[in-house]
Amino acid sequence: MAECNIHIAIIEPSHMIYEGLSTILLKGNPHGRILRFENLDELKEYRDKNCLEVIIVNPAIIMGDPGALGSVKKHFRKAQWVGLVAAVFSDSLLQLFDARIQITDTPGNINSTIARLTEENCICADDSPVEELSDREKEVLIELVHGLSNKEIADKLHISTHTVISHRKNISQKAGIKSLSGLTIYAITQNIISIEDIQSGG
Amino acid sequence: MYLTKKTYVKEQMKLAGLLFENPYLMLMMQHFGLNFVVQDKSVEQVCRENDINKDVFTAIANLYNGFQELDSVHFTRTDIPSVISFLKNSHQYYKDEKYPEIKALIDEIARVNSTPEIKLIEQFFDEYFHEVIDHLEYEDEVAFPYFEKLAEEGESKQLADYSARVYRDHHTDIESKIMELKKLLLKHIPLHQDKTLRRRLIISLFELEYDLTIHYAIEEDLLIPLINHFEKTPDRG
């Protein structure tokens, strides 16, 4: 958790509460990023919607129009919604949230609530997909770098063109690189080909 | 400079305060052709004095601050010239300042790090740079003059080879190559006495990417819909 750089949005009108809460959250998540929004409309216009893992809202903001929360929620598929409870609210209102933080909670409580919510899709977890290419993918990459077409690679490796295309897709996904010149450099850094290979191969 | 909190820009806010919070807004002001030393003036005041629609200004400033709101703002034909001038100034910045800066850094790196990977990065960048220049020149010479004419005369003739889709494909390409450069330089190519230069290069690439992303958002979500609107319903007034 300590290394996690989660993005947390806060909608809380009180400056004091906002500052206090963001200080506590940053202590628990030194690499976290806190963004403050004034209301749901502002939040809805935030560009990187999928980057927000947690959205903390003072329920008073939505009390007048609880339905509005539902329509905003649709835009933030990955986010967990947390009610920041500093007054008495109806159960039906509090039910709209995935979790609740009480104004009387200790910093430890608050951060463990957030940790519990973000555990599953925490990007710093060590289960990130393997990026190393399989032997077959390496073979395909070598031919690609030498300028062969999908069809030529298929013939040479005795596989279907369809399979070549799917290998190419996986290679690009794993390397994060699509262009041929980018893949060439990648192949060299991974010791899949040597510089002499491409110079002599043309 | 601690760029984790960014404010939602509103017209009554003091511009200097916003600049202290996000210095890249200085760059935005340069793209607008504005002086960024603005004393205590509000956003609205600066816009009024320089004859820029404050809604256009705040919408774009909010893009720089990480908010997307272009769909919900109402723009009119009279806004086209200031948007185009913004985009043209941005082109100037890419051509005369940002790309040469990146090019110079890559050249410097090549002097201290003579590995084949860096040689290939040089080639990669040169090819990419030419593509970008072609694209920018096309916009400067073909697309923008057409838009300007449309704004002036309300002319409704379609520009045959100009469609939002062509535009978008090209953009995706330009952006994804910056991403590839970043990936190679940050993740794969080993450092070889070029640590400081490499950091400066990567940060410069991030800055370019940041500005380009906003540039495209303005073209695709503001300019193109505006143009499409006038192509469909020419206003003779």
Structure tokens at A196: 């002499």
Please give the residue of chain B at the shortest CA–CA distance from A174. B183
Asked if A180 contacts A141 with a C-beta cutoff of 8 angstroms, the reply is no
CB contact under 8 A, A186 and B184: yes
The class level of CATH for A7-118 reads alpha beta
Look over chain A and give the mean of its residue pLDDT values, rounded to a whole number: 86
Q: Quote the mean pLDDT of chain B.
A: 87
| DSSP three-state, residue B216 | helix
Longest Cα–Cα distance of chain A, Å, equals 76
Residue keyed to tokens 């002086």: B35
Per-position DSSP letters for B104-163, written without gaps between them: HHHHHHHHH---HHHHHHHHHHHHHHHHHHHHHHHIIIIIHHHHHHHHHH------TT--
- Tell me the per-residue pLDDT of B59-78, one tens digit each, with 9 for 90 and over: 999 999 988 767 667 788 88
Residue A49 in this model has a pLDDT that exceeds 60: yes
pLDDT recorded at residue B232: 66
- β-pairing, A7-11 with A99-102? unpaired
What pLDDT, on a 0 to 100 scale, did the predictor assign at position B111? 95
- Would the pLDDT of A131 be above 60? yes
ipTM: 0.79
In tens, the pLDDT along A138-156 reads 999 999 999 999 999 999 9
Structure tokens at B37: 């030393």
Q: From the list A38, A177, A181, which residue is nearest B8 (CB)?
A: A38
Domain boundaries, chain A: 7-118, 135-201
Rg over alpha carbons for chain B, rounded to the nearest Å, is 19
> Residues in chain A whose beta carbon is closer than 8 A to a beta carbon of chain B?
33-38, 42, 45-48, 175-179, 181-182, 184-186, 188-190, 195
C-alpha A154/C-alpha A164 separation (Å) is 6
Question: Best mutation site among A7, A131, A145, A189 for testing chain B: the one with the most B CBs within 10 Å?
Answer: A189
Whether domain A135-201 has CATH 1.10.10.10: yes
What confidence tens digit (pLDDT) does each residue in A166-195 have?
999 999 988 989 999 999 999 999 999 988
Q: How many angstroms separate the CA atoms of B33 and B50, rounded?
A: 9
* Interval A2-11: pLDDT, tens: 345 788 999 9
Residue A118's nearest CA partner among A48, A46, A36, A25 is: A25
Please state, in angstroms and rounded to a whole number, the distance separating the CA atoms of residues A174 and A186. 11
Residues 6+ apart with CB under 8 A from B225: none
